[in-house]
Every structure is written in C-alpha cells, then in structure tokens.
Amino acid sequence: MQVISNPTQDEIVIAANALKKGHLVSFPTETVYGLGADATNENAVKQIYEVKKRPTNHPLIVHISSLRQFPIWAASIPDYVNELAKNFWPGPITFILKRSHLAKDFITGNQELVGVRIPKHPVALQLLGEFEKLGGYGVVAPSANMFGSVSPTCAPDVLDDIGERLKKEDFILDGGDCEIGIESTILLCTEENIKILRYGNITRSQIENLVNIEILDQNADSNVRVSGNLVKHYSPHAKIVLDQKPTHGDGLIALFQIPTPEGVIRLAAPKDIKEFGQTLYRAMRLGDKKKLSRIMIISPQINEISQPVIDRIKKAAAE
Ligand code: TXA
Ligand code: MG
C-alpha cells in the first residue's frame, strides 16, 4: 500500500486507475475517510469487507462525482430528492432509494435499495471524476476503519486502523483533516416520506425548508439495515462514560469552558459544536493510544446542530 500526501492530478489519475483495476483506495471526504472500491467489481468490493471485517449484509454507499451519475444507480428518483441533491451535493447527505440494475446484491447487502452520495472534498471529487473518465460508474466507500470502531478523520488514523491489512497495490490518499468529522446524514426516501436513518451535518430543518414532504425520525420503525443503527457502534477500546465527574487517570472530552480536574487527561477542548464534531473521533482514538481505560465525555446541550454529535457520543458509550 502506498500513502500519497496532497496528491497531484497525476497521482489521482494513478489512484483512479488502481480503482478501475480492482484495487482499494482510501480517500478523504468532508465527513470521514472512505475506503473505496469499484462499485461494479464484486471481487474488489469483497476486499473492502475483508479488510474491515464488516458483515457482508451491511450495504455500502455509492460515491459519484456529479448528478449525471445519479440515475445510473437509482431506479427512480422522486422530484424532491432531485431538489435536495441539487442543493446539498456535493455534501454530507446520502439518499437511500430503489436500486437500478447496476446496484448488485454485493453492494446493497441483498436489499432492493441503494445509497448514493456526492462527497465534497476536492481529492474525492477529482478521484471520482477520473474514475468515471476511465469508464467507471461509481465507487463504494464505507468509512475506512475496522468494523465497529470509530471512523478515521485523517490519513494517519486510516493507516493505524487498516494500513497493515491493505495490499501492495492499494492506496491511501492523504488530503488532510476532514472538515466535518462525523458521517453523512442518511435519508431513506420513498414517494411518500423521508426517514432520517442517521443524523449528520445536514439537519431536519434544512431539509424541511426546502421540500414539502413528511419527515420521520430515525427511530420510526425500519427494517432497513444501517450499521450506524446498531446500538453499540463508533466505539473505541476505552470505556466511554457520559456526563459524570472525571476522576484521576480518566480522559476528558468536553467543550473548552469545562475545566480539566487535576490528574485528568484532556483529549479535546472544542470551542463549539462544529469543532466538537471535527475532533470527537480523533480524541477517542487519542485516548486509546494513551491506553486510557476510561474516557469521560461531557455532552453539549442538545439542539438540532449538536444532535448528530450527541448521537455518536451515545453510541460510543452504549454497553
Ligand atoms: O459520510 C459518510 O457517509 C461516509 C463517507 C466515507 O462517505 N461513509 C460512511 O459509510 O459512513 P459507512 O458504510 O461507514 O456507513 C454507511 C451507512 C451504513 O450504516 C449502511 O448500512 C447505510 O449507510 N447504507 C448504505 N447503503 C444502504 C442501503 N442500500 N440501504 C440501507 N442502508 C444503507
Ligand atoms: Mg462506518
């Protein structure tokens, strides 16, 4: 495996060729780092599951570079989804729709649905664009971490997590730290309504302001498999404890106003919710590197903006 920092256009073309030949490429997005493979290549996709040790019935999101590719993957796209896509793409929102013939069982976890997203990071967009120029249709990319652990938000975290499991011909493209730091909002879209399957940076109000369609919440009955919906997920090795007083030897993640008691190891002191999201996973990983047995997280106040962050914190703390 080769790590390429701040890849040039030529280097991105090399990585796109590797994808086309069936190799894996980890790349930055605005949310978290993805581990990409040609979405039409069953063998390549199989390698993603092997590297991550991810159960094969967990579907993958198809990443594309432009709206032109969208109808290739979805059998039908409701008007309101086109409206949302036009507004929020490239960006941190994924639509789950009826699949086209191209979206095979090996990417959808045998479901009749496909997830699609256009990410915002320039390296991701260039990589996907070059891949499409080579005749590719889309790149499936789960977060580039071992199944069940927190998503990587920088290339060194990808390397730490899965570096040794990648093959010689695979790549990690280092495009710096992810701007958002938590995964995209996922919407299950039917003709009748939207179900928010995973909270992310794009909020319910942003969606409501744009389209006139019923929006149901995450916990509304759903038998769609979203791995982020397992109660215990996004979790480091250290035990995550919420909203208690940290004691000697504990790690602490809390907004900057909250002081660090003596003997407590401060892992992050974000100045606002945006920074909380950016640093949360990194801080949890830091706690693991320091071999802490407990990490205390003081949750920010709940509101629409902090909701996705609180959602990840709760999942990390779940027993
Ligand atoms: O921000 C993100 O979405 C990142 C970056 C790399 O794009 N990707 C990501 O992928 O978080 P992953 O695989 O770690 O989580 C994607 C979630 C999974 O929980 C999966 O179950 C759900 O999306 N998903 C994907 N395709 C689906 C489908 N066809 N039906 C239902 N859920 C789907
Ligand atoms: Mg993931």
Rounded distance between C-alpha atoms, residue 143 and residue 288, angstroms: 19
Whether residue 137 lies inside any domain: the answer is yes
Q: What CATH number is associated with residue 104?
A: 3.90.870.10
> Which listed ligand is nearest to 128 at the C-alpha?
1
* Residue 74 CB neighbours (<10 A): 23
Q: CA dihedral in degrees (150, 40, 177, 17; nearest 10)?
A: 140
- pLDDT (0 to 100) of residue 239: 93
Domain boundary among the residues 183, 216, 249 is at: 216
> Do 295 and 238 meet the contact criterion of CB atoms below 8 Å apart?
yes
Same domain flag for 200 and 249: no
- The answer to whether the CB of 58 is under 6 A from ligand 1 is yes
For ligand 2, the distance from its centroid to the CA atom of residue 260, given in whole angstroms, is 31
Domain boundary among the residues 170, 185, 216 is at: 216
Which helix H or strand E contains 128, and what residues bound it?
Answer: helix 122-133
- pLDDT (0 to 100) of residue 232: 52
- The answer to whether the CB of 108 is under 6 A from ligand 1 is yes
Rounded distance between C-alpha atoms, residue 205 and residue 126, angstroms: 31
Same domain flag for 31 and 160: yes
* Residue 200 CB neighbours (<10 A): 24
Whether residue 233 lies inside any domain: the answer is no
Whether residue 234 lies inside any domain: the answer is no
Whether residue 229 lies inside any domain: the answer is no
For ligand 1, the distance from its centroid to the CA atom of residue 94, given in whole angstroms, is 8
- pLDDT (0 to 100) of residue 148: 84
Domain boundary among the residues 216, 247, 275 is at: 216
- The answer to whether the CB of 61 is under 6 A from ligand 1 is yes
- The answer to whether the CB of 115 is under 6 A from ligand 1 is yes
Same domain flag for 201 and 298: no
Q: How many domains does the chain have?
A: 2
- Structural domain harbouring 78: 2-216
For ligand 1, the distance from its centroid to the CA atom of residue 297, given in whole angstroms, is 25
Same domain flag for 172 and 312: no
Q: Going edge to edge, which strands form the sheet with 113-117?
A: 2-5, 171-174, 25-27, 34-38, 139-140, 61-63, 113-117, 93-98, 185-189, 193-198, 214-216
Same domain flag for 195 and 72: yes
For ligand 1, the distance from its centroid to the CA atom of residue 296, given in whole angstroms, is 28
Nearest CA to ligand 1 atom 15: 142
- pLDDT (0 to 100) of residue 223: 55
- The answer to whether the CB of 143 is under 6 A from ligand 1 is yes
Same domain flag for 137 and 246: no
Write the DSSP assignment of 183-230 as a string of letters.
PPEEEEE-SSEEEEEE--SS-HHHHHTT--SEEE-TTS------GGGS
- pLDDT (0 to 100) of residue 218: 74
Whether residue 110 lies inside any domain: the answer is yes
> Do 36 and 23 meet the contact criterion of CB atoms below 8 Å apart?
no
Same domain flag for 26 and 133: yes
- pLDDT (0 to 100) of residue 189: 97
Same domain flag for 133 and 174: yes
Burial of residue 259, with CB atoms counted within 10 A of its CB: 0-12 exposed, 13-18 middle, 19 or more buried = exposed
Rounded distance between C-alpha atoms, residue 103 and residue 233, angstroms: 26
For ligand 2, the distance from its centroid to the CA atom of residue 271, given in whole angstroms, is 26
- The answer to whether the CB of 287 is under 6 A from ligand 1 is no
> Which listed ligand is nearest to 26 at the C-alpha?
1
Same domain flag for 97 and 208: yes
- pLDDT (0 to 100) of residue 290: 95
Whether residue 263 lies inside any domain: the answer is yes
For ligand 2, the distance from its centroid to the CA atom of residue 150, given in whole angstroms, is 7
Which helix H or strand E contains 155, and what residues bound it?
Answer: helix 155-162
- The answer to whether the CB of 119 is under 6 A from ligand 1 is yes
Whether residue 225 lies inside any domain: the answer is no
> Do 90 and 120 meet the contact criterion of CB atoms below 8 Å apart?
yes
Same domain flag for 61 and 207: yes
- pLDDT (0 to 100) of residue 225: 54
- pLDDT (0 to 100) of residue 237: 81
Same domain flag for 190 and 246: no
Q: What CATH number is associated with residue 254?
A: 3.40.50.11030
Same domain flag for 206 and 249: no
Whether residue 230 lies inside any domain: the answer is no
Which residue ranges in the chain fall short of pLDDT 50?
231
* Residue 86 CB neighbours (<10 A): 10
